[in-house]
Copies of this chain bind each other. A is one copy, B any other.
Amino acid sequence: MQLLKERILKDGKVYPGNVLKVSGFLNQLIDEKLLFAVGKEISTRFCAHNITKILTVEASGIAIACAAAHYMNAPVLFAKKSKTSNLSDNCYFADVVSYTHNNTATIVVDKDFISKDDRVLIVDDFLARGAAIQGLRSIIEQAGATLVGCAIAIEKGFQGGGDALRAEGIKVESLAIIDSMTDDALTFRKSI
């Protein structure tokens, strides 16, 4: 998606440890025009797949999931990180390692909110090694629902998580795939 790639080149910031900060336009301060263009593009790529639920994880996936939902006419479900007193015991759980934050979080979804009849699209802002996606997949599997595919704003292609999912036959659509990243230069994968 040209608009997103141009914005990453213009306003993205690279930090040591392969951290790409897009919090100035995508996941803390959110340019609403870019956000809804991303949502529309996700809808275009998955509109033929009868999605019944868009699943993401708090917090930075929620905005993109909602923008996609607007065009796809499907509800958003977001997994919470760690159990709070507002959640009942009637939940699915999965552990997710965060390499960026160097910790492990438990993600939680109420069992009432996802069922075996659901055809689920996973949406997230980033895909690197795929840890968050694997946690969300586990919840989809526990519910007996169907994973239709993954829609990602920015994939760090060089970290392999996206290609591993594709090798399993999962439809992964990333709107910008970064094949290499240094302090000075970003290289995007062709034909995305």
Contact = CB atoms under 8 A, between A and B. Distances in A.
A102 B86 contact: no
Nearest to A36: B70
A21 interface: yes
Interface string A75-108: 1111010001110000000000000111000000
B113 A85 contact: no
B23 A74 contact: no
Contacts of A33: 73
Contacts of A29: 75-77, 110, 113
B84 A101 contact: yes
A30 B76 contact: yes
A6 interface: no
A28 B78 contact: yes
Interface stretch (A58-66, A166-174, A182-190): A58-66
Interface string A8-44: 0000000000010101100011111101100000000
Given A29-B77, A85-B102, A110-B23, A70 B70 contact: yes
Nearest to A35: B66
A66 to B, nearest CB: 5
Contacts of A21: 86
A76 to B, nearest CB: 4
Given A28-B80, A32-B72, A58-B58, 14 more contacts: A23-B86, A28-B77, A28-B110, A29-B75, A29-B76, A29-B77, A30-B69, A32-B66, A32-B69, A32-B76, A36-B70, A62-B62, A66-B66, A86-B100
21 contacts: A19-B86, A23-B110, A28-B78, A29-B110, A29-B113, A30-B75, A30-B76, A32-B66, A32-B69, A32-B70, A32-B73, A32-B76, A33-B73, A36-B70, A58-B58, A58-B59, A59-B80, A62-B63, A63-B76, A67-B70, A86-B100
